């Protein structure tokens, strides 16, 4: 078991919880920057396409979301 103490704090934004360790604290603007709205979708592909997508993600060291977002952005930028 770790000796680190964890405290739970409430951020300035309503409904968001943050975890505080022995140092630091919640700061406005800290963390991953928002790039848009998150919506959950279901996608059906053949096994071959899933394998190709997963290989591309591994080769490029990118998440599925990032790769699919890049494909959609490329399609709509034409």
The verdict on residue 57 lying in a domain is: yes
Distance of CA 69 to the CA centre of its chain: 12
Confirm whether pTM is higher than 0.85.
no
Q: How confident is the model at residue 32, as a pLDDT?
A: 73
One digit per residue, pLDDT tens: the chain, 78 residues? 566 666 655 555 566 666 555 555 556 666 777 888 889 999 999 999 999 999 999 999 999 999 999 999 999 997
Q: How confident is the model at residue 18, as a pLDDT?
A: 61
Q: How confident is the model at residue 1, as a pLDDT?
A: 57
Select from 33, 36, 27, 31 the least CA-distant residue to 65: 36
List the domain range (segments joined by +) for residue 47. 40-78
Structural domains counted in the chain: 1
Q: How far apart are CA 9 and CA 16, in angstroms?
A: 9
**Quick check: 7 and 19 in contact, CB under 8 A?**
yes
**Quick check: 70 and 63 in contact, CB under 8 A?**
no
The verdict on residue 47 lying in a domain is: yes
Q: How far apart are CA 69 and CA 12, in angstroms?
A: 30
The verdict on residue 11 lying in a domain is: no
User: Domain with 63 in it: what CATH number?
Assistant: 1.10.1220
């Amino acid at each position: 078991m770790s000796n680190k103490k964890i405290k739970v704090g409430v951020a300035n934004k309503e409904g968001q919880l943050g975890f505080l360790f022995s140092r630091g604290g919640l700061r406005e603007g800290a963390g991953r920057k928002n790039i848009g709205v998150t919506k959950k979708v279901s996608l059906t592909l053949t096994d071959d396409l899933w394998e190709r997508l997963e290989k591309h993600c591994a080769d490029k060291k990118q998440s599925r979301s990032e790769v699919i977002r890049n494909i959609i952005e490329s399609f709509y930028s034409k």
